[in-house]
Amino acid sequence: MPAGRVSRLLRFGGIASGIAGGVAAGGLRALAQGKRPDMGQLLLTPANTLRLTTGLSHLRGAALKLGQMLSMDTGVVLPEEVTAILARMREDARHMPPKQLQTVLNAEWGPGWHSRFARFEPRPFAAASIGQVHRATLPDGRALAIKVQYPGVRASIDSDVENIATLLRLPGILPRGMDLAPLLTEAKRQLHAEADYMAEAQNLSHFGALVAGSDRFLVPSLQADLCTPQVLAMGYVDSVPLDTLVDAPQELRNRVAAALIDLVLRELFVFGAMQTDPNLANYRYQPATGRIVLLDFGAVQQVAPNLAADFRALLDAALDGGAEATRAAMLRIGYFALDTAPQHQTLIQSMFHTAMGPLRQDTPFDFGQSDLLQRLRTMGLAIGAERDLTHVPPAATLFLHRKIGGMYLMAAKLRARIALRPMVEPYRDENPKLCAFAPSDRHHED
């Protein structure tokens, strides 16, 4: 796994030159057949897709993380082929070889660190974009999960993001005038925060305190004495992946999905802080207690009071307000600008109105049977096809949308049926009267 800036830059150069060679060969073939080469189609061939996903998955770090960010529902509508490339990157996980792992841990804990454990598993049981996770056992028998950061990640964030941006700016991928700078600036800020495991340790403790005593949620305990800027140590929680519940009883699927949706509302309107990475692997289920295990607090975004107020106004308008009130709220948040063409504003408002449909009904919405996602995707692609629409919403809004979109995908995967309006109504109030975070409706027979 390349750690130095020069080696990573050379790897990016190899990816770019490979793609360029594929484009040149494809263009020559098109000319030989008497066709006019299409740059977008030449860039997004299966061969180039493989070059990009394989290369960036090997690089890991910010290169892969930015791809994961953009492949979620952020509000920046990319061509379908690009989304497929980035989604594949999200699923590919590679880990450090043992020798490199040993070097990293020697640097963080010092030589002889093995004596601090009764057992340390050298092979990770999970690997992600910035780090990999190992099981370990302390001398007193407590089980830990140890997240170890890939070497070179923090030093390469800015250059990796810029190199990815260069690839995205190739002709045919994004509208010519689209300004990605604000999004890239926020991506760098968030990635630097995620690469600071001491900051994540604080987030872990903070969210643990927020849900302390909850009958719904469980956050692993922090093992502070083993934490460093590149190593995060926490209690290992015996649990199963959330997607193992897809065939569970309907009531259990409804309860789990409703709890996670309510958690998003609390993060936005009550906690003032949101974990913005909705990767399904960040949520697990503990059958013994019926609680949802919350993992990965690197991507925590503070929600400014004025942004929460704007979203509350937008929610209020979406539920009962007219088109003008909704437009004013969307304008304040930044879904479009004053100089955005009227037809483009209409398209964006229409998509938003469609997305809010489930929140306006008092009866349960069937996430599993609804075609809402397909309709929204069709509308999104139509908006993305407007090559003169170059407005990008503020980065804070996009990352909030990423979480909200991820929760919808989670509920759809669980085929949940939830009456959403009764859930969101309390949050229209600036000081919502909420039930305790420890409901007594858990059924052990689930």
| Higher per-residue pLDDT: 27 or 250 | 250
Q: How far apart (Å, rounded) are the C-alpha atoms in residues 146 and 137?
A: 10
Give the C-alpha separation, 200 to 49, whole Å. 33
Q: For residue 34, what pLDDT is reported?
A: 52
**pTM given for the model:** 0.78
Q: Would the pLDDT of 372 be above 80?
A: yes
pLDDT category of residue 251 using cuts at 50, 70 and 90:
very high
Residue 394 within any structural domain of the chain:
yes
Between 240 and 321, the more confident residue is 240
What is the full DSSP assignment across 287-319? TTTTEEEE---SSEEE--HHHHHHHHHHHHHHH
In this structure, is residue 198 part of a structural domain? no
83-128: pLDDT as tens digits? 555 555 555 556 788 999 999 999 999 999 999 999 999 999 987 7
Residue 5 domain flag: no
Let me know if residue 62 belongs to a domain: no
Residue 262, in any domain of the structure: yes
Tokens found for residue 107? 């640097």
- The reply to whether 339 falls in a domain is yes
Please tell me the distance from the alpha carbon of residue 308 to that of residue 305, in angstroms, as a whole number.
5
In a domain, 10, yes or no: no
* Residues with active-site annotation: 277
Parent domain of 284? 240-446
Strand 131-137 and strand 126-127: the pairing is antiparallel
Buried b (16+ CB within 10 A) or exposed e, 396-415: bbbbbbbbbbbbbebbbbbb
Quick one: pLDDT at residue 200? 95
Is 92 a member of any domain? no
User: What's the structural domain count of the chain?
Assistant: 1
